Amino acid sequence: MMEYGKEQDPHALALQLATLTAQLDRSVGQLQQQGGQSMRAMQTSAQTLAQQSQQLAGEVVQAVSQQTHGAMVHGLQQSLTPLHQATRDAGAVTTALAQQLSALRSAQQSLVWKAGLALIIGSVLVVGGCGWAVWKTQRALKQAEFPTQVLEATRSGAITVCGEALCVKAGSKPQHYGQNGDYVVVQPTASGGQ
């Protein structure tokens, strides 16, 4: 789980992203498999229904005597016509479901890619934001160091006011600093006085 305000390891974020992408791929595979099984089951049912209706028609025709054979055949054909139409309709529904399943698979794969891309972009933004915050904090700390050092030098007595001017206690052997040695390094005193 991602915690806000804490720095996240980019590698850990990448691993989390890879895990999420793998889970989404598995889910799409399972949906595809279930859709294929449902389509095959519907096709088998439609074929079985057609076979059973033909078998029933054959059995009824054989059971009827020769005298009523013509009338029965005509009646059965009329009664079986809606059944044959229902079988054709079931086949059409199966085809439509297969097309919808294919469209759903495409949409799911597109969604997986978009989600992965969004996670990558979000991770980059989080890492970038954290980096910027660290940089800004370091810069502020460096800017705060100088006044702290001046305050410490004043407390220790290395910098004080002499009449109307500032005085620096440089010691008996002052250390020079800068390219031309224009500066003298302040030596704080242990007593903290002037």
Average pLDDT, the chain: 79
Q: Which residues are 160's β-sheet partners? A: 167
Q: What are phi and psi of 66, to 5 degrees?
A: -65, -30
DSSP state of 177: E
- Please tell me the least confidently modeled range out of 40-44, 56-60, 96-100: 56-60
d(CA 114, CA 53): 49
- Report H helices in the chain: 10-63, 69-156
Question: pLDDT tens-digit profile of 103-160?
Answer: 888 888 888 888 888 888 888 888 888 899 889 888 888 777 778 888 887 888 788 7
The answer, yes or no, to whether residue 4 has pLDDT greater than 70, is no
Question: How much of the chain, in percent, has pLDDT values that exceed 90?
Answer: 1
Q: Which tokens go with 129? A: 């934001």
Please report the pLDDT score of residue 160 as a whole number: 79
More confidently predicted of 183 and 128: 128
Per-residue pLDDT, averaged over 165-185, amounts to 80
| Sign of the CA dihedral with 5 first, then 112, 38, and 90 last | positive
Q: Which tokens go with 46? A: 């439609």
Supply the pTM of this predicted model. 0.35
Question: Which of 49-58, 66-75, 104-113, 139-148 is the most confident on average?
Answer: 104-113
Please report the pLDDT score of residue 177 as a whole number: 79
